[in-house]
Amino acid sequence: CGRGFGTASHLKRHQRIHAGERHPCPQCGKSFSRPGDLRAHQLVHTGEKPFSCAQCGKGFNHACTLKTHQRLHTGERHTCAQCGKGFGRPRDLRTHQLIHTGEKPFGCAQCGKSFNQLSTLRTHQRIHTGERPFGCAQCGKRFIKSGSLKTHERTHTGERPFGCAQCGKRFGEMSKLRRHQGVHTRERPFACPQCGKGFPHSSTLKRHERIHAGAKPFRCAQCGRAFRQSCHLKTHQYTHGAGRRPLGCPQCGKGFSLPGPLRTHLRTHTGERPFRCPQCGRGFNEAGNLKRHERTHAARRPFVCPQCGRGFIQRGDLRRHELSHSGERPFRCPQCGKGYTQPADLRRHQRVHAEERPLGCAQCGRRYGHRGDLRRHELSHSGEQPFSCPQCRRGFSLPGSLKAHQLVHMGERPGRTRARGGTVP
């Protein structure tokens, strides 16, 4: 093939690729050109890590991996002349330099995609072969890459080794930490060429651009439904698994398809609100809720109704509003036939039939079917009256009670009105 090597031994090893000489692993079938590579690979199956770091005790299954790790302690670096980035191994520097040259010498024979590392090509080829050599010892789920297995194992252990230096929040993946750090810097270097909206990551911009293009590249093999994001497809695929929700809340038993929604749900029990508005300090249990709230400060209403011109902060609010023009109520109760514009409203209504009251007051134990009812009840314990009349400064615990009271100032005497949460004048 004409490829050059620095030593004769490296050339001999390379020539085995052309000769087709292979040593297969008896456990997973993966083949290697050298017996030593096979022996090193088999440590993946046994879990043996015979090479330990004398300074920190961390174990490794290859001597070369230990040597690379030890450079973290010695501080030895090989620096790129073009961008200044440092590397622990000369070969890592050489691989990095291909980024600057744009060279991708390793091509996939099946799809033609090229890579700058042979190891990356081998990992890619598993997509075509279906090989998933790395299995989780706890649940049996298998992965193409060892790194993906390590990340997955943290869902069982709860380990979050990557911490934010600014707020202390911890993450199971470095990529998630980097995404989170954009919250502090507010940096959005990737702008959409069509609408100008900025994004902190190129991947987020790509997802956004699908909205303009109408592209939905992720298709369900069972029903044909298409999605813009792979995570949305994964969530949808659970609907074909007979409603399987393998992740249960340890406090209330509610089931979830994915770890993320379960973590968000757990915050309803703990009261944790880690996402804080920098302008007013209000806390939220989801980053998406914080983003929606921040639009109230900016007074941005980017979603406009084409029929009446009314603007909305959220796309979902616009969709709900549009149903008021059409009169459509597509979500119907199977028991009484009552129609609703939103599935969440239907679910809340169905609790009436089931007599389900999943939300309990932490102080007295009284239970409610709706979160709003629970919040109103909790004010009776705290005595808080956050809604004040601008004319007489009288306080009320509920906005409905304040509105009923204001009729007095307007000269209207509707009689004693029983508002939710108490009787008001």
CA proximity to 181, closest of 159, 200, 198, 204: 200
Query: Using one digit for the tens of pLDDT, what is the confidence trace for 28-73?
Result: 777 777 788 888 788 777 778 888 888 888 888 778 788 777 777 7
Q: What is the 3-state secondary structure (H, E, C) of 325-346?
A: HHCCCCEECCCCCCEECCHHHH
Q: How confident is the model at residue 242 (pLDDT cuts 50, 70, 90)?
A: very low
List of domains in the chain: 303-404 (3.30.160.60)
**Hey, what amino acid is at 350?**
Q
pLDDT at 239: 66
Specify whether the CB–CB gap between 334 and 349 falls below 8 A.
no
Q: What is residue 204's predicted lDDT score, i.e. its pLDDT? A: 80
Residues 163-169, mean pLDDT to the nearest whole number: 81
Who has greater pLDDT, 403 or 20? 403
Q: Which residue has the higher pLDDT, 1 or 56?
A: 56
Residues 211-224 have a mean pLDDT of 82
What is the secondary structure of 147-199 as a DSSP string?
HHHHHHHHHHH----EE-TTT--EESSHHHHHHHHHHHH----EE-TTT--EE
| 311-334 average pLDDT score | 79
Provide the pLDDT for residue 416.
42
* 138 and 158 Cβ atoms separated by less than 8 Å: no
Q: Give the mean model confidence (pLDDT) for residues 414-424.
A: 41
Question: For the residues 323-328, what does the mean pLDDT come to?
Answer: 79
9 HSE (CA, 13 A, CB side): 1
Percent residues over pLDDT 70 in the chain: 88
* Element of type H or E holding 16: helix 8-19
At 259-315, the pLDDT tens digits run 777 888 888 888 788 888 877 888 888 887 887 777 777 666 777 888 888 888 777
Predicted pLDDT of residue 246: 64
Distance, in Å, from the CA atom of 13 to the CA atom of 36, rounded to the nearest integer, reads 11
pLDDT in tens, 140-153: 888 888 888 888 88
- Residues near 234 by beta carbon (within 8 Å), at least 6 away in sequence: 258
Mean pLDDT of the chain: 78
- Amino acid at the residue 84: G
Paired sense of beta strands 303-304 and 283-284, if any: unpaired
pLDDT of residue 423: 38
Question: Which of the residue ranges 129-138, 156-165, 203-212, 242-251 would you say has the lowest mean pLDDT?
Answer: 242-251
For the cut 60, the answer to whether the pLDDT of residue 413 exceeds it is no
What would the pLDDT profile of 375-384 be if each residue is shown by its tens digit?
A: 778 777 777 7
pLDDT at 19: 66
Q: What is the pLDDT of residue 421?
A: 41
**Is pLDDT of 415 > 50?**
no
DSSP class of residue 415 equals -
